Amino acid sequence: MPLMMTADEVMTVLNRVFGQVDGQFAIEELGEMQITVRLKVGEQHLRPGGTVSGPSIFGLADVAIYMIVMAMIGPKVLAVTTSSSMDFMRKPDGQKDLIATCKLLKLGRSLAVGDVLIFSEGGQDPVARASMTYSIPPER
Amino acid sequence: MPLMMTADEVMTVLNRVFGQVDGQFAIEELGEMQITVRLKVGEQHLRPGGTVSGPSIFGLADVAIYMIVMAMIGPKVLAVTTSSSMDFMRKPDGQKDLIATCKLLKLGRSLAVGDVLIFSEGGQDPVARASMTYSIPPER
Amino acid sequence: MPLMMTADEVMTVLNRVFGQVDGQFAIEELGEMQITVRLKVGEQHLRPGGTVSGPSIFGLADVAIYMIVMAMIGPKVLAVTTSSSMDFMRKPDGQKDLIATCKLLKLGRSLAVGDVLIFSEGGQDPVARASMTYSIPPER
Amino acid sequence: MPLMMTADEVMTVLNRVFGQVDGQFAIEELGEMQITVRLKVGEQHLRPGGTVSGPSIFGLADVAIYMIVMAMIGPKVLAVTTSSSMDFMRKPDGQKDLIATCKLLKLGRSLAVGDVLIFSEGGQDPVARASMTYSIPPER
């Protein structure tokens, strides 16, 4: 199943649709059913103890599955996350960017399921993992 | 098991520790093992389609369990969410505040588990549910 | 939204469709969007330490959402659980039955979401909680 | 971090502790922080439509993390699963065994987190995924 969009096209849609995240995310790598996304960690993502906040980590996982689904099926800006489970395993270093790799395990007509592993840049051990289920509007 | 902090004391710690959320949250009701928290929905919480973003909903669930655990055991600013599962069931109305009620199902020595139901203010049906597991530092 | 089946009708379908569970489950109470189900704990449900096994608890949550969805929309024997999250909070007493209450939080055209709380009979504190997402076949 | 037990030793403990699963599971491969486990699918694991039941799939994920944690830290028969999230993505073929690979993402003093992917033998696409959190008793 070939990609329907390039990384540049995906980023353009993301930044147009979600104006408020403009500049926070970058695609490091994009392939069939898999994407690697960087969160450029800034002041607004931190929480006490010099670490990255839970909502920022959640947002990265959420954006990663949004972008790989879009790259695979074309822009569907109304598609939404319907469920997620996350484990927060280690405190990310607030001085480093976060790198998330999302693999699609299923891309069905109405549901996509992706697994996400998140690392602090250069780290060996994941700081978090997520599973995201994504609903694809029927007009596909 | 009586409360160890009042709603005002909890809010004071929250706003001191998480400066960046100052003014976004308010405690509507605080009781034993249960709290109701309002997210004052503003521009920064919205996403396309006039709805509230996933990370904002996650953040509300995260803050709700943080506050009820703190109210029950006293301020432990280093305690952290270790896992979460969420279902996003309906699109919240971006014109309305979100109201989350978190019930602690377990408050052990090292782990707390809470269930959260989230409504758009005045709505009958929940927009989201979450289960959050919270790790309590051993020095308790 | 009225019930489309009685408790007896639901039990009849369950036992016909899942012959191997015959006699293990009983409906304690059935109402709109809510059901209470008993697992008659026997030798085959136990694990070391005189407690009930994880798969048995999972099976109870799974059956509970299956039955309340069926009671609400009529028999759809091909409907399936698509995702679940569970927290195991206390060890159930292997000498007691388990009692699960499942509330449907959403009953959409294609997805149902239910929250389940599970107690040892007579216990005050839940031994487990579950959220189950259930897929409803399109031919509905 | 080297293994503390061989596959044979792990199987011996499993079958002694959980007499009722004797003969249902086999270790296909055991390495540092990773295990592959076979469920020998039989009549008792099936559900209507010639597929494997949810509780059987859950049980396989549960046994896989139990065995890899035990292989890494030595026998701790009282350790328990504290939470799980699962996605059921495709119907397994009831004529085929299930093969689960569990990777430990974290092995801390008190908590282990593992990711599990489950396939029908010979299949390309996972039938289910699970994340399991496992509590390790303090006397370690």
Which residues have C-beta within 8 Å of that of residue A21, sequence separation ≥ 6? A14, A15, A59, A63
Supply the DSSP symbol for A92.
P
Compare all CA atoms of chain B with the CA of C89 and give the residue at the minimum distance.
B106
User: Cβ distance A27 to A11 under 8 Å?
Assistant: yes
User: Cβ distance B102 to B115 under 8 Å?
Assistant: yes
Compare all CA atoms of chain A with the CA of B91 and give the residue at the minimum distance.
A80
Test the C interface: residue of A82, A105, A115 with most C CBs within 10 Å: A82
pLDDT at residue number B77: 67
Task: Give the minimum alpha-carbon distance from D60 to chain C in angstroms, rounded to a whole number.
Answer: 9
Say if residue C83's pLDDT is above 90.
yes
Q: How far apart are CA A71 and CA A65, in angstroms?
A: 10
Q: A with D: how many residue pairs have Cβ under 8 Å apart? A: 41
Return the ∠ at Cα D41 (arms to D35 and D45), rounded to 5°.
110
Return the ∠ at Cα A28 (arms to A24 and A34), rounded to 5°.
110
Contacts of D133 in chain A (CB under 8 A): 87
pLDDT at residue number A97: 98
Q: For chain B, what is the mean pLDDT?
A: 92
Subunit contact C111:A85, Cβ cutoff 8 A = no
Nearest residue to D98 via CA among D9, D13, D14, D36? D36
Q: How far apart are CA C13 and CA C15, in angstroms?
A: 6
pLDDT at residue number B50: 87
Q: For C37-46, how does the pLDDT look when each residue is reduced to its tens digit (9 = 90+)?
A: 999 999 889 8
pLDDT at residue number A94: 95
Task: Name the helix (H) or strand (E) containing B25.
Answer: strand B25-31
> What percent of chain B has a predicted confidence (pLDDT) above 70?
98
Q: B with D: how many residue pairs have Cβ under 8 Å apart? A: 10
The topology under which CATH files domain A7-135 is Thiol Ester Dehydrase; Chain A (3.10.129)
Query: How would you class C17 by CB atoms within 10 Å of its CB: exposed for 0-12, middle for 13-18, buried for 19 or more?
Result: middle
| Predicted confidence band of residue D1 (pLDDT cuts 50, 70, 90) | confident
Say if residue D140's pLDDT is above 60.
no
Task: Give the minimum alpha-carbon distance from A91 to chain B in angstroms, rounded to a whole number.
Answer: 9
D88-C56-C88-B28 Cα dihedral, nearest 10 degrees: 70
Residues A88-105 have a mean pLDDT of: 97
- The domains of chain C are located at 7-135
Task: Give the minimum alpha-carbon distance from C84 to chain A in angstroms, rounded to a whole number.
Answer: 10
User: In the structure encoding, which two tokens stand for residue D120, read together?
Assistant: 């029908």
pTM of the model as a whole: 0.94
Say if residue A10's pLDDT is above 70.
yes
Contacts of C91 in chain D (CB under 8 A): 80
* Beta strand ranges found along C68-135 (DSSP E): 80-88, 98-107, 111-120, 128-135
